[in-house]
Structure 1
Amino acid sequence: MGIIMAAHAIVSRKVLDYPIRILSDSRSVLQALQSYTLTSGLIYECHKALSEVCTTNIVTLQWIKGHSNSRGNDAADILARGGSELKVAGPEPILPLPYAWLRNMLRHNTKVKHQQYWTNLGTCRQAKEALPTINPGLSRRLRLLKRPQLRLLTGAITGHASLNKHLLTMRVTDSPLCRACMEAEETAAHVILECPGVAEYRAQYLGSPGPLPEVVGNIKGLLGFLEELGWQE
């Protein structure tokens, strides 16, 4: 629509015998205009408007990178965002919302609702300490692991592993104390971050670990640490 409006403006101003350069940050539109087959009514209208301008002028279409401090392109982005937020009013046909915009809005809204649900959830206390925010990148990396490795990390994140604190809750053992140091309850956070009895292995695989969410992000190091301890899911 931007290119169409530019072509109409050129015709209305009766510009003749002039080299004209139209900038666009949409590769898909420029590629569609180059195609020998037109499958979109809007692209056909754009092609026709440009053909009219080309009868009396030399027209060049040029791709420009978006958000690159181009005055015209940045102004167009501001107007586009403002237009997308307006309620639809007036006669049809109405310019449809771009698929990419709809997809990004769905992803954003889904992520926001997911985070709200996770934050307000009254259970999963230990898991929320390790993963206070939704992390799609970490989720993708975890899905690439083999099943035994994924079970191992899940036990570390949730605390549902062969830890005395968890085993006491399940009435499998009679003491929650850490077997390596006997100084604190044996929880995932204690073993991974604090226990002096496994400090050598912690330094070898995790270095100087930061908070639990940071350690969980170090999948390779955490797996090596847990496997060295013979940790079972």
Structure 2
Amino acid sequence: MSTSCYTDGSKTDEGCGAGYIITTDNNNTIIHEESHRLPNCCTVFQAELSAITEACNHLTTHTNKHIIIWTDSLSSIQALTTLNNNSRTVANCLNSLNHLGANNNLELRWIAAHTGLWVNEKAHELAKLGTTSNLIHKRPVPQSHINNYINNKVIQLNNEHWTKNGPKHTKMILGRNSGKTINNINSSLINNRKDYRTAVQLITGHCGLNKHLFNMKKSDTMECPLCGHREETVSHFLGQCPATTQLRGHYFNEYYLSINDIFDNIHITTIIKYTNKTKRLLEPEDIDNTGITKL
């Protein structure tokens, strides 16, 4: 007479649980049933393997028996039959199976889930019950949880660094209306790579204006070449340079604007048209070796 063991794992909003039921006499006699909880960080894959492990541990006193362990987790069977596996959860389960199999005729079989077989449904019930159990079994922290924790921590630290030390120009522009500005770019300029590049340059301040070029040691002056007496920042170029007052009035309907006024109230496509008209941010291929703009 064989002993059958049905195992299952579950992951819900309440937690992660595992359960199993052991029967004999063609499932007419229940030998034992149990459910337990795993740490919330664990995966349903770990829960499936944990159910098999705990069932094996409970059956270690059996000898010279024919034992069949049923699981509806194909991934668990595949992991247990893979030669190279670095998972501690898989290794622990495999050790328990080998220990039980040393003194018994042991089989591990797959069974389809929710086919109406009452013992299989009972294992599912027990696993779900385990998600709220007070009995918590320690298990290794999955690598996916570690990776997510690291990624979230990096994002947090990056945001903190940006808030404290990020580029002043970009924060000034994007601080209040980042969604609006970026959406305008995406919806209007996505099919025009040159204009898209110009928009990003103006927003970040990393562009061919003398202030940035001087900081990059690619210019010997920070002064505006158009008016000759102010640092050529994006703010000066777009909203304040007296040499482009008439052009600014034509596109922006104002002659003097702050950087926030421009990006808050003027569509990005209009800003690009103004920039292109000044010919100040031309690509290198549009300028000859003397630095003179080709007409």
- Please identify which structure carries the higher strand content: 2
- Please identify which structure carries the higher helix content: 1
Tell me the TM-score range normalised by the shorter chain: 0.3 to 0.5
What TM-score, normalized to structure 2?
A: 0.37
User: More relative contact order in 1 or in 2 (CA 8 Å, sep 6+)?
Assistant: 2
